[in-house]
A and B are shown apart, each in its own frame.
Chain A
Amino acid sequence: MAVLVIAEHDNHSLKPATRHSVSAAAQCGGEVHVLVAGSGSAAVAAAAAQVAGVVKVLHADAAAYAHALPEALAPLIAGLAGGYSHLLAPASAFGKNLLPRVAALLDVAAVSDVIAIPAPDTFVRPIYAGNVLATVQAGDSPRVLTVRGTGFAAAAATGGSAAIEAIAAGPAAVGARFVGAELSVSERPELTAARVIVSGGRGLGSGENFALLEALADKLGAAVGASRAAVDAGYVPNDYQVGQTGKVVAPQLYIAVGISGAIQHLAGMKDSKVIVAINKDAEAPIFQVADYGLVGDLFELVPELTRALS
């Protein structure tokens, strides 16, 4: 049987997280199909057809799917599920919102945040803020999974030549309407896809001081992240948050500045390849996971580091 990946997109471009899910889908056995449900989303379907390993793209284009409301998408996906052994989506806000609803409509369990697929019915996922890895077996079919992007390399964006098949849209969402969105505008790379991340915590002391991190991030072509403490203090918007209840990242280089390293924060970044900690407290737990630790005043060290990279 084939495997269906639900594409995450903004009606213009395919989110990179979708390509990580395609890699995970390839490990489930069977042909990989991708569902693009959106409005005015032909470019997304075309991009999905180019992704290496994708055999078929199902394209449902209707006004009802413009804002990815789960009330509209879940019945569409549940209606397609009979032909598939697995349904996958990225473990992003999009996938987490949608797939449990699909699973309940199908009366099957869902497996969240899968990081490895040892067998087509067996999945590894972190629990207790990433302090324990659980291996679970799902007997129900289809298996419904959200995929943690950091666990699977992204499938190549090109090299595929999937057929695009238009499919009929279902009814509009009942009982739910999209009102509006306020998106953070940033020139920097997206957090979950960035190669380098510079993250700040309570030690920054104010939102203005995040400018220090932004200057450093610009030198490194990095994304800027934050701990929950920095978000709660209002220094930066919520979508900067890295951690158990924020974003999970695994960049090549993660620079933690003025972050103590609470368990909830480590849950979101400890799979980074190289971790650097800059903190004045030599006892801070962040130093236990840091490959390179620098003890001192961030207000002196960060500008010095920025200059050293010039």
Chain B
Amino acid sequence: EAVRLQEAGQASEIVVVSLGVSACQEVLRTALAMGADRAILVETDAELQPLAVAKLLAAVVAREQPGLILLGKQAIDDDANQTGQMLAALLGCGQGTFASKVTLGAGTVTVTREIDGGLETVELDLPAVVTSDLRLNEPRYVKLPNIMKAKKKPLEVLTPAALGVDPAPRLKTLKVEEPPRRAAGIRVATVAELVDKLKHAAQVI
């Protein structure tokens, strides 16, 4: 979405940030190949939970002073859906979460949000934090020449200490386990048999 805003002449520079181990450089190179101008890696081996990520991003925002901060709505590993909201709180700015449409105005951004009953639109003063829903757009494929060009784009490496943030986890994971498995079901041959099972065996209709 940032690249599209830049192509529309609405963004002057796109800075892409990642936090984590040095292998995250690959992720940043991919973003540079998609069209970002420069990258910042906050390098740490620590387990980063959303509050720590939000604090580190807030420190980067304080340095870079962007007009708009874009994040995904949730990571598909921890499924937390927290970082963007926490970042907005720390910055004291507006938040447009689960965005399916983003329109920049003069000093404002209008965000259409996916909510449980449909859609909602809010207008936020810039700077603002926006988290993207799947519906926002269709990401483009990266082309080979752009991958080559991305290798030459600047990538700065910082540390949590340099940003003055303690990234220590606040939640302690006691255990992880597989959820209980469902017992194998049966195949029915006809609709009549299905209705019979639902009425008498399962008693759900």
Contact = CB atoms under 8 A, between A and B. Distances in A.
A196 B93 CA distance: 41
B85 A177 contact: no
Contacts of B190: 294
Contacts of A206: none
Given A104-B89, A245-B134, A305 B194 contact: yes
A275 B100 CA distance: 31
Contacts of B186: 291-293
A interface, over-half SS: mixed
Contact of A184 (B118, B177, B192): B118
A149 B121 CA distance: 26
Given A136-B174, A239-B115, A245-B134, A176 B191 contact: no
Interface residues of B, number: 72
Interface in A113-157: 113, 122, 125-140
B122 A69 contact: yes
B186 to A, nearest CB: 6
Interface stretch (A32-40, A43-51, A91-99): A91-99
A108 B202 contact: no
A245 B133 CA distance: 8
A172 B93 CA distance: 13
A196 B116 contact: no
A135 B197 contact: no
Given A108-B170, A239-B118, A293-B187, A101 B85 contact: yes
B88 to A, nearest CB: 6
A26 interface: no
A71 B205 CA distance: 44
Nearest to A143: B171
B171 A274 contact: no
A201 interface: no
A215 interface: no
Nearest to A191: B116
B12 interface: no
* From B84, B88, B92, residue with most partner A Cβ within 10 Å: B88
Contacts, number: 235
Contact of B185 (A102, A183, A245, A287): A287
| Most chain B CB within a 10 A radius of its CB, from A92, A287, A292 | A292
B97 A137 contact: no
B179 A133 contact: yes
A112 interface: yes
A104 B115 contact: no
| Range of interface residues on A (Cβ < 8 Å) | 35 or more
A289 B195 contact: no
A108 to B, nearest CB: 7
Interface string A285-310: 00111111111000001001100110
Contact of A70 (B79, B95, B205): B95
Given A273-B204, A287-B185, A112 B172 contact: no
B41 interface: no
Interface of B: 49-51, 54, 73-74, 76-90, 92-95, 97-98, 100, 110, 113-125, 128, 133-135, 170-179, 182, 184-188, 190-192, 194-195, 197-198, 202, 204-205
Interface of A: 67, 69-71, 74, 92-94, 96-105, 107-113, 122, 125-140, 173-184, 192, 196, 220, 228, 232, 237-239, 244-245, 247, 252-253, 270, 273-276, 287-295, 301, 304-305, 308-309
30 contacts: A93-B115, A96-B97, A100-B85, A110-B80, A112-B80, A125-B79, A127-B77, A127-B79, A127-B176, A131-B178, A133-B178, A134-B173, A136-B174, A137-B172, A139-B170, A175-B93, A175-B124, A181-B120, A182-B120, A183-B118, A239-B114, A253-B204, A253-B205, A287-B185, A287-B187, A292-B197, A293-B187, A294-B187, A294-B188, A294-B191
- Which 7 A-B pairs give the minimum distances between C-beta atoms? A100-B85, A104-B89, A104-B86, A109-B170, A100-B82, A176-B94, A179-B121
